[in-house]
Each structure stands twice: as C-alpha cells, then as structure tokens.
C-alpha cells in the first residue's frame, strides 16, 4: 500500500508462507533469510526485507506524498508506535512464532 500511496509503479509477487514458498530456491536467491515482505530495488541493486526498513527506505528515496509528519515530535511519536508494533505485537502473528507455540497433536 505504501507504494500505491507514493504513486510508484511496482511488480507484486505473492509468497505463500503456508506452502513454504519463502524457502524456495528462487526466493532464497533473492532473500537468503526467507522473510517477507521483500523490496527489490533494481535501480539501486538493493534488497530490503523488513516492513519498517522498507517504509523508511521508500520514505527517504521518494519524499513525495510523505507518510511521516515533518514536525520532529510528531514524527518521533509515529516512529515509536511503529517500532512498538513491529517489535512487540507483530512478531506474535508471524508464522515462525505461531508454529513454535502451537500445541503438538
């Protein structure tokens, strides 16, 4: 959605985590750690695999339609909330965590 908000053209490729597609040879060539999402910026020859890092990279590279406020205090609060979600809440929804805490049958 960030790419749409920034008005950027992109190619979307779905990765089915339940089928283990993140561990396929094709995907691990792109991203050896097997995490999604992944942003491949061919223009800069860079691959980024982390929602928060992708957001910050795109925000810096494409400042049009900014997502973060220019006011430093408001920007800091936004980054604080995003970091709380990415480090405290979101990991509990990730497949690796769900698989490890799932009761054995």
Which pLDDT tens digits describe the chain residue by residue (105 residues)? 889 999 999 999 999 988 989 889 999 999 898 888 899 998 999 999 888 899 999 999 999 899 899 999 999 999 999 888 877 765 555 666 666 666 665
Question: In the chain, where does DSSP find H-type helix?
Answer: 2-5, 25-30, 51-61, 72-84, 95-101
What pLDDT does 27 receive? Answer: 92
Whole-prediction pTM: 0.75
CATH classification code of 1-101: 3.40.30.10
pLDDT of residue 85: 80
d(CA 30, CA 28): 5
């Amino acid at each position: 959605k960030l790419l749409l908000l920034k008005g950027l053209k992109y190619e979307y490729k779905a990765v089915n985590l339940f089928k283990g597609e993140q561990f396929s040879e094709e995907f691990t060539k792109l991203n050896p750690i097997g995490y999604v999402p992944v942003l491949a910026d061919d223009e800069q020859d860079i691959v980024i695999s982390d929602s928060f890092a992708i957001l910050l990279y795109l925000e810096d590279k494409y400042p049009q339609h900014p997502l973060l406020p220019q006011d430093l205090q408001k920007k800091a609060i936004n980054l604080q909330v995003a970091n709380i979600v990415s480090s405290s809440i979101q990991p509990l929804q990730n497949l690796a965590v769900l698989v490890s805490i799932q009761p054995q049958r």
